[in-house]
Amino acid sequence: MTYHAYLFEAKSIQSYILATNCLKEIVGASELIESLTGTILNDVINRAGSGLEFSRQGGGAMHLFSTNRQSIERIAVLWPLVVRQYAPDLEFVQAQGQGDSAYAAYQQAHQQLHNARNIPQARIPQAPPPAERSRRTGEPAVAWYKKTRKLDPNVDPQGEPVDAATLRKLDNKFWRGTALCNRFAPTSSRTDWPLNLTPKAGEEDDERNFPFLAEDYNIAIIHTNGNDLGQLLIKLSAVAQQRREQYILLFRKFSEAITAATQKAAQLATEAVLKPHRTQGVYPARPIVLGGDDLTILVRADLALDFTRHFLMAFAEQSHVQLKTLKQQLKLPDLPDRFTACAGIVYAKASQPLHLLHELAKNLCKHAKKCSKAQNKDNIPTSLSFHRVTTYFVDNYSDILKHELTFGNLQHTLECYALEPEQGLPLLDDLLHLHTLFTTLNLSYSTTRELLGIISTNVNQAPRRYQRWREIMQERNSKQLAQFDKLLLALGITPASADLPYTGTQKSNLRRSPLGDVIMLTAAGDTCQPNGQPTVTIEN
């Protein structure tokens, strides 16, 4: 028997969603992507023929199999036409394969899909020079979009020129949709989530402003991704080679398990962190992507670290539940007990370009993964990295480390924090205890900031200033200074580093400090509190 496979994957989904800073368009794009592999796909499948089975469906992707060649060929012809109409300008790749089993058909199609990802796609038709352009995307406009309420009819009486993709995102059924938000809070309605980051005159009457704290317009973009799923899929493929008749079932159940773990973790984090901080019923966040083991969400800055921590820990717990069931149902004893995930958090002003902030968040997530793998590549620790953007130009994290956070051999960050103890990385809770010491016990925040500033300009003066600060603290509050020293010790700064609160000694090639991270959290207004006691004993 010959099996036929059709693989489809949308490309650059986050870039498509974050093409502009207009939150309404971001919401519309998120809902559009969320619905792409839902009812519209099922309608196409029903018209294409019978005998079609999914091993994956969701997150802008599908893997479809059948022993009926004509059904697969109809899908391969019809589905791209539907996508181009349903989601204008969305990039995607597709491929077909065949073999004596579903697994063999997938392998052939997957290789073609991999090759297709590297082939540039021409955009046709090209717009001529006289064409009107969308002012926020630069793409050729196809229509004028008029808001329902205009305070000044003399400004753009025709409305705003918008391109095809933007016009589609602004369709009422998308930007007023709740499919994605309901995966975070199942009982929420569309009026429970914000639609304006920077409210302006002329918006629709039913839009909700983002519930900032007074005049504090700090936001955070969070991106999380599971660890080592690629390696696990390779192991699952090896099992499928031995149990070829179960290939579709194995991968469908695995995909469903990962999706269920991610979604449940998002719901638990939303319930624990976001729901108690609603303002007039509006959540201080807006989901952007939730698919597979990926999560991207926009959160008010003061809640970002706490939400991320809750999600990462819940993901590990929920993956354990799902994998335990999967092991029993499909007799897969070699599956790990749980999955872990890493995260990147970017703090910034709401006016910053969101697509650049998102790229940095992904970069930070990759950096956290790299740091975690360096400690234990077989059982990657749950960890996170964060950064606060203070410049208009948003660089990648390696360049930020080199040009913004490192001066000589002194680096103002520990780069990555583990959420669980004894992982070989600095512990997030120890950093939060240090942050609490500065913010609630009135340790000299301004002096610490000044110390980092001196290091940035004149490293030679820094040890003398630091010693003077310690002398003053010893006279005024010796107990707080003792707490400070013990927390530094927990974060890897030993008594041998007496000249400055950095790891290593003066002769070390690179010395790191958590003080820059404390400054970042304070400046961003993050209010995350430690979960438990520090890893060293602190006397009150």
- Cα–Cα distances in Å, from 226 out to 346, 360, 429? 18, 17, 21
Distance CA 374, CA 33 (A): 35
Rounded (5°) CA angle 364-532-224: 20
> Which residues in the chain land under pLDDT 70?
125, 148-157, 199-206, 440-449, 451-452, 456-457, 496, 535-540
Q: The dihedral of CA 158, 160, 165, 169: what is its sign?
A: negative
Tell the CATH superfamily of the 1-118+133-176 domain: Reverse transcriptase/Diguanylate cyclase domain (3.30.70.270)
Judge if the upstream peptide bond of residue 284 is cis by omega within 30 degrees of 0: no
pLDDT value of position 369: 97
pLDDT value of position 202: 44
How confident is the model over 213-252, as pLDDT tens digits? 988 899 999 999 999 888 888 888 888 888 888 899 999 9
Q: Characterize 134-170 residue by residue with b for buried, 16 or more Cβ atoms within 10 angstroms of its Cβ, and e for exposed.
A: bebbebbbbbeeebeeeeeeeebeeebbbbbbbbbbb
Any idea where the domains of the chain sit in the sequence? 1-118+133-176, 180-404, 418-524
DSSP class of 128: P
pLDDT value of position 505: 80
pLDDT value of position 152: 53
For 215, the token pair is: 């005049």
Among all chains, which residue has been given the structure tokens 């927990």?
A: 490
Which one is the CATH code of 180-404: 3.10.310.10, 3.20.20.70, 3.30.70.270, 1.10.3210.10?
3.30.70.270
pLDDT value of position 201: 45
Any alpha helices (H) in 87-228, and if so which ranges?
102-117, 164-169, 172-175, 179-184
Q: How many CA atoms lie within 13 A of 514 on its CB side?
A: 25
DSSP class of 83: H
Phi then psi for residue 503, to 5 deg, are -65, 160
Distance CA 84, CA 136 (A): 21
105, 65 in Cβ contact below 8 A? yes
pLDDT value of position 257: 94
pLDDT value of position 442: 61
Distance CA 301, CA 248 (A): 42
